[in-house]
Structure 1
Amino acid sequence: MKKQRAPGLIAIVLYKTFVASLLTVTSIALLFALKNHQVLEEFSQSYLLESKLKIIEFILDKVLILQPKKLLLSGMTAALYAVLTAFEAVGLWYEKAWATILVLLLVGISIPPEIYELVQGVTLLKLAVFIANLAVLWYLLHHLPKHGKGA
Structure 2
Amino acid sequence: MKKHHAPALIAIVFYKTFVASLLTVTSIALLFALKNHQVLQEFSQSYLLESKLKIIEFILDKLLILNPKNLLLSGIAAALYAVLTAVEAVGLWYEKDWATILVLVLVSISIPPEIYVLVQGVTVLKVAVFITNVAILWYLLHHWPKHGKGA
- In structure 2, C-alpha distance between the alignment counterparts of 1:55 and 1:11, rounded to whole Å: 31
Q: Which residue number corresponds to residue 106 of structure 2? A: 106
CA deviation profile, 1:95-119 (whole Å, cap 9, x unmatched): 0000000000000000000000000
Counting matched residue pairs gives 151
Unaligned runs of at least 5 residues, structure 2: none
For the residue of structure 2 that corresponds to 1:143, the secondary structure is helix
TM-score with structure 2 length normalisation? 0.99
1:2-151 counterparts in 2 under 5 A?
2-151=2-151
For the residue of structure 1 that corresponds to 2:144, the secondary structure is coil
- In structure 2, C-alpha distance between the alignment counterparts of 1:63 and 1:2, rounded to whole Å: 46
User: Over aligned residues, Cα RMSD in angstroms?
Assistant: 0.5
CA deviation profile, 1:27-72 (whole Å, cap 9, x unmatched): 0000000010000000001111110000000010011010111111
CA deviation profile, 1:60-86 (whole Å, cap 9, x unmatched): 001101011111110000000000000
Ranges of 4+ aligned residues in structure 1 off by more than 6 Å: none
Between the aligned residues of both structures, percent identity stands at 86
Question: Which amino acid in the other structure matches residue 21 of structure 2?
Answer: S
**1:126, CA displacement in angstroms?**
0.7
For the residue of structure 1 that corresponds to 2:147, the secondary structure is coil
TM-score with structure 1 length normalisation? 0.99
